[in-house]
Amino acid sequence: MNNFEPRIVCFVCKWCTYAGADLAGTSRLKHKPSTTNIRLMCSSRLSIEQIIETFREGADGVLIGGCHPGDCHYINGNYKTLKRIMLMHSILKDFGIEPHRLRLEWISANEGKRYAELIDEFIEEIRASGPLKLNEACGFSEKKIPINE
Amino acid sequence: MKRMGLFICHCGTNIADTVDVEGLAKKFTSYPGIMFSTTYKYMCSHPGQELISKSIKEHKLDGVIVAACSPTLHEMTFRKVTRTSGVNPYQCEIANIREQCSWVHTDRVKATEKAERIIRSIIEKVRLNEDLQPIKVDVTRKALVIGGGIAGIQAALDIADSGYPVVLVEMKSSIGGHMAQLSETFPTLDCSQCILTPKMVEVASHPNIELLTYSEVKKIDGYVGNFTVTIEAKAKGIDWELCTGCGKCSEVCPVSVPSEFERGLGKRSAIYTTFPQAVPNKPVIDSESCLKIKTGGCGLCEKECDVGAINFSREFTYREEEVGAVVVATGYELYPILNISEYGGGEFEDVIDGLAFERLLSASGPTGGEIKRPSDGKVVEDIVFIQCAGSRDPEKHKPYCSRICCMYSTKQAMLFKHKVHHGQPYIFYIDIRSGGKGYEEFVERAQREDGVIYIRGKVSKLYRDNDKVKIVGVDTILNKPVEIEADLVVLAMAIIPSPGTEELTNILKVQTDENGFLQEIHPKLRPLESTTAGFYFAGCAQAPKDIPDAVSQASGTAVKVVSLFSGDYLQLEPTIATVDEDVCSGCRICISVCPYQAREFDEKKGIVRVNEALCESCGACVAACPSGASDQKNLTDKQISTMATAIIKEDEDG
C-alpha cells in the first residue's frame, strides 16, 4: 500500500458543493481527510492563474466543485468554469501537470453522498499518481518564482 | 499588523472527540499574528460569546477566527459578537471544523491535521480582510405571491392585512387550489368549501390585493427588494371587464369535455368557470375544444351574452410589476395514476385517485355526493383504499412519505361509511402515520365507530373480475392472505410538485431538492426562505403537508416578507467586486461576463464601474479581468492564493 499522503485543495462554491460537503457532515458520511475546502461564492471566481499557482505551490491535486449545469446560483457561472477547465486540460501538460490532477465536478447541495464518494475517489486517484514533481518536469530550480510580486 | 484571536469550539463532544482542540489551541499561540487562542465547550452559548467579547477587548484584537460548525449556522452569531465588541463584523470568519472535519473523519491524528489546515487557511483570509460596511438599498414595499391555493391565499391576506400591497398570480382561472376540490377536511370534518370560500372572497375584495388569475410569471429581473416581474395573462376569449358572470354562456355551449376540476369524472363545456364558487366567478374559453375557435362555426354563447363580453380573443397580454419580495406557493399535484400500472391505474375505470374520490364525496361533485362507480354508476358497497401508491417506493416511484394520505384516506373511509351505511371500507397500509393534533384520535374513531378495517400489508395483485376489482394481498399482522372483491379502489397517490414548478424555478433561479420540491436555506432554522434572497415558500411546493401546516407556513412567510419591508432600507452583503480605476484598461470583457448587468462602462474615463446594488458577488468578472484591475472585497486574489498556500504548506511541516 502506497503511504503517500496527497495534498489536495478543493475550491468549492458556497451554494452547491460547500453545502453538499456540509450535508455529508450532517449525515456523518465518512471520507478520507486529505482534502481541504476553500469556499468561494461561485466556481467562476477562480482564475486560470490561481489554479496554476496552487499546483506550483505544491498541491498534488485540485478539485473544483460547482452547481450542476442549469442550477448555478449565478445563472451561468458554472459554464464559465467549465470553459476555463476545458482550456486548462488542454494546456496543463505543457506545465508538466497531468490533466487528471485538475478535476471539475458538479455537486449539488443535496448530494452529500456523492461529495463523500467523489472525495475518496479523487484522493485515491491522486495517491496512485504519486506526488506532482513540477520542478523536475519543468526544470524549475528549488527557489520558486513568485507570480504575485 | 493584524492582532488575531482564535476561538476553538468543542461543540460538546462533536468536535473535541475527533479533533484535539486543546493541542491546536496551544500550537496556534505561536502562529504569526495570533495574539490569543483558546477553546470552549460551546462557543455559541452566552458564556462562549462573552469569552470572545472579553478577549477581543483584553487583547485588543482586530481579527477573529472561530473554529466551529459550518458558517451557514453561526457566522451571523459570531459576527454580531465581533461587532458589539467594537470590531468590524467582516473581520470575523468561521473555520468549519465540524461538518467538514470532525463529523466526517474518524482518525483523530489525521482529523486534527485537517482541522489545522482549515484554521490556517481562515487565519490567512482574516489577515487580509478589510473593514466593510453593508450596502444600503431601497426596497419596493410590494409583494408578489405566486399560486392561489390555501397557502398563497393565506400569505397574500396576511401581507395585505399588514398594510402592504400584494399581487397574487394564479395560473388557473380561479383561486382556491386543490382545497376547493375537497369534500370535508380531517380531523374536524369541516366542509372544505365552507372554510375556504370566505377567504377566497376576502382576497378578491381586499383593497391591498390585486388578483391576476389565468396568469403566469414569465420573467424576473433584479435582486432582493427590487424585482421586476413580467406576468403573462393567458387569452380568456372573454372581456372580464364586461362579463357579469351570469353563466348563460356555459349553459348553451354544446361542447362537453372531461372536467379537470372533477378529475375527469364529470364534464364541462368549452366556455366554463372552474367550479360554481370560483373567484373571480368569470368563465374562460378553452381554445382546444371551442367550436367557434376551431371551425369558425357555432358562436351560440356570443349570441346568448347580453353584455357582449365574448370576443374569442386569443391574444396573450403582458405586464410588468415592481415588487420587493416573492412568495412561491405553487402547490402540488398527485403522481399520475397512469404511472401505477401494477394497480391498474388508467386501465380500470373503477380504480381512481384520492382527489377523484373527493369529487365523488362532494355534494357539488359529478354525482351530487352519491358514491357511484365510474364504470356503471352502481352504488359502491365494498371499497378499498391503498396507501403509499407511489410513495415510500424508492425503487420504482418516489422515496418519500407524502405525509397526508394516511389521514385523508381515513377521512374518506369514514365519510364513505356515513353515506353508505351498509358498505365496508378497507385500508391497506404500511404504517399509519397520524402525527398531528387530534389525528391519532381520528384514526381510532374510524376504527371504533365507523368500522373501517385496516389491513397492514401491500397489495400484491389487482385484477378485473366481472364487474368487480379483485384485490389480493397479505395481512402481515395475521400472517394470512386476503382477497377482497371491491366495487371501487382508491389509490392514495404520492404528492409531487405541481406541473410547471420546474419551469418556474428556472425562471426565478431558486433551487429545488432531488424530488423537485423547493429547497429551503436551512431545513430547521430557516425553512421559509430560499437560498436566493427575496424568495419565500409556503405550502406543498416546499414539501407535502396538510392544511394546518400549509396555513401556518404561509403566515410565517408573510411575517418574513413584512419584516423585509419594515426597515428603511435593505442591507446587502458588501463582499462585491471592485475595479482599480488606475489599472482598468477599459477592455470591457467583465461586462460580457457579468450575469447581472452590474458592470457599466464609463465613457468619460474609459473604465468600467461596478453597480454596488446589482453586484451579487459571484466574482466571475474578477477571474476574467485580463489586467488584474478587478478584485473581490474580502475574497481577493491574494487572499485565495495565501489560503491555498496555507493548506499546502501545513502538510509540508507535518
Q: Which residues of B touch A109 (CB under 8 A)?
A: 511, 519, 531
Residue B379 is given by DSSP the state B
pLDDT value at residue B49: 97
Contact B618 A59 (CB under 8 A): no
What is the CATH code for B335-496?
3.50.50.60
Report the Cα A52 to chain-centroid distance in Å.
11
Q: What is the pLDDT of residues B449-460, one digit of tens each?
A: 999 999 999 899
Report how far residue B113's alpha carbon sits from residue B23's, in angstroms, rounded to the nearest whole number: 11
Q: What is the pLDDT of residues A8-47, one digit of tens each?
A: 999 999 999 999 999 999 999 999 999 999 999 999 999 9
Contact B68, B38 (CB under 8 A): no
**Sequential DSSP letters for B226-252:** EEEEEEEEPP-SB-TTT-----HHHHH
**Residue in B104, B519, B622 closest to A25 by CB:** B104
pLDDT value at residue B538: 96
**Which of B492, B484, B460 shows the shortest CA–CA distance to B392?**
B492
Closest-CA residue of chain B to A5: B651
Contact B331, B539 (CB under 8 A): yes
**Residue in B98, B514, B632 closest to A110 by CB:** B514
Q: Could you tell me which residues are beta bridge partners of residue B536?
A: B327, B529
Contact A33 B107 (CB under 8 A): yes
Report how far residue B520's alpha carbon sits from residue B513's, in angstroms, rounded to the nearest whole number: 9
Report how far residue B249's alpha carbon sits from residue B270's, in angstroms, rounded to the nearest whole number: 10
Q: Which residues of B touch A37 (CB under 8 A)?
A: 96, 100, 118
Quick check: A124 pLDDT over 70?
yes
Pairwise pLDDT comparison (A1 vs B643), residue with the higher score? B643
Quick check: A135 pLDDT over 80?
no
pLDDT value at residue A60: 96
B576-632 matches B335-496 in CATH topology: no
CATH architecture of B4-133: 3-Layer(aba) Sandwich (3.40)
Q: What is the pLDDT of residues B139-150, one digit of tens each?
A: 999 999 999 999
Closest-CA residue of chain A to B637: A50
C-alpha cell at B168: 397574487
CA of B542 vs chain A CAs: smallest distance (Å): 15
Contact B298, B254 (CB under 8 A): yes
ipTM for this model: 0.93
What topology is assigned to A8-138 in CATH?
Rossmann fold (3.40.50)
Q: Which residues of A touch B632 (CB under 8 A)?
A: 41, 45
Contact B618 A50 (CB under 8 A): no
CATH architecture of B576-632: 2-Layer Sandwich (3.30)
pLDDT value at residue B654: 40
Contact B104 A53 (CB under 8 A): no
Quick check: A142 pLDDT over 80?
no
Tell me, yes or no, if A69 comes closer than 8 A to chain B by beta carbon.
no
Q: Which residues of A touch B516 (CB under 8 A)?
A: none
Contact B487, B383 (CB under 8 A): yes
Report the Cα B321 to chain-centroid distance in Å.
22
Quick check: A147 pLDDT over 70?
no
Report the relative pairing of strands B630-632 and B577-579 from DSSP bridges.
antiparallel
The residue type at B160: A
Q: Which residues of B touch A134 (CB under 8 A)?
A: none
pLDDT value at residue B653: 47
Name the CA dihedral angle for B443, B334, B371, B149, rounded to a multiple of 10 degrees. Answer: 90
Report how far residue B522's alpha carbon sits from residue B518's, in angstroms, rounded to the nearest whole number: 12
Report how far residue B72's alpha carbon sits from residue B74's, in angstroms, rounded to the nearest whole number: 6
Q: How many other C-beta atoms are found inside a 10 Å radius of the C-beta of residue B585?
A: 13
Quick check: A145 pLDDT over 70?
no
**What superfamily would CATH give domain B143-331+499-566?**
FAD/NAD(P)-binding domain (3.50.50.60)
pLDDT value at residue B17: 96
Domain boundaries, chain B: 4-133, 143-331+499-566, 335-496, 576-632
pTM, two decimals, is 0.76
C-alpha cell at B279: 373567484
Query: Which positions of chain B have pLDDT values less than 50?
Result: 651-654
> How many CB pairs below 8 Å do chains A and B form together?
145
pLDDT value at residue B313: 93
**Sequential DSSP letters for B59-124:** TT-SEEEEEES-HHHHHHHHHHHHHHTTS-GGGEEEEE-IIIIITT---HHHHHHHHHHHHHHHHH
CA of A45 vs chain B CAs: smallest distance (Å): 4
Contact B644 A44 (CB under 8 A): no
Quick check: A138 pLDDT over 80?
no
Quick check: A1 pLDDT over 80?
no
Q: Which residues of B touch A7 (CB under 8 A)?
A: 647-648, 651
Q: Could you tell me which residues are beta bridge partners of residue B320?
A: B230
* Burial (Cβ within 10 Å: 0-12, 13-18, ≥19) of residue B296: exposed
**Which of B158, B142, B152, B162 shows the shortest CA–CA distance to B226?**
B142
**Residue in B96, B509, B649 closest to A75 by CB:** B509
Choose from A8, A13, A45 for mutation: most chain B CBs within 10 A: A45
pLDDT value at residue A148: 57
Closest-CA residue of chain B to A83: B624
Q: Which helix (H) or strand (E) holds B371?
A: none
Contact A36 B121 (CB under 8 A): yes
State the SS3 of B491-552: EEECEEECCCHHHHHHHHCCCECCCCCECEEECCCEEEEECCCCEEECHHHCCCCCHHHHHH
Domain boundaries, chain A: 8-138
